[in-house]
Amino acid sequence: MVPFGNAQVVETSSRKRHHHSKKQQQQQQQQSIECQHGLGECVGNEYQQCIIEDANHEFDRYWEMIQCLELGFPMGQQDDDDAIVKVVQSCSASRQHFEQLQDCVQYKGPQHQLEYMQMTPPELHYVPWVVVNGRHIDEAHESLKAAVCDAYTGQLPECMEN
């Protein structure tokens, strides 16, 4: 899972005064992330990235909380990052876990955004962009279960047999 979606990295520049002389100025390149659905989506992505990192990318350790967040994120309130924080708090296992996630977003959020951007396939046109065995499955948005079962080469688990 790569929570980045259709976000874009935007290059901005700002003038910063040089410490030695007020007359000298230097150009400083900065990057910011703009999410397709606004600030709230970016904040939600950062929390999901921190959850995945905290779980060492082990699907079984992060998936339940990601599902909780996806069900709870407020639709139509993309720029309401306070509402998203409340959902993260309600889905967290403990106050300590919630505070760890907040620290991660605050101190590592922009770094994670850039890392997850690098993991996002450049050919991504919509989300969810499902890849199984290194191959994009276009029909997955219609029936994810059928697409995964068709692509899966091993013994199907019982829950997938019907």
> Higher confidence at residue 131 or residue 69?
69
Q: Residue 23 is encoded by which pair of tokens?
A: 């007359």
Q: How confident is the model at residue 140 (pLDDT cuts 50, 70, 90)?
A: low
What's the mean pLDDT in 138-160?
Answer: 71
39 pLDDT more than 70: yes
Based on C-alpha coordinates, what's the Rg of the chain?
Answer: 19
What does the pLDDT look like over 103-135, one tens digit per residue? 999 999 989 999 999 998 888 887 777 777 777
Q: Cα 147 to chain center, whole Å?
A: 23
Q: Which residues does residue 55 pair with via DSSP β-bridges, in sequence order? A: none
Q: Which residues does residue 136 pair with via DSSP β-bridges, in sequence order? A: 131
pLDDT, residue 40, reads 82
Q: Residue 66 is encoded by which pair of tokens?
A: 């990601």
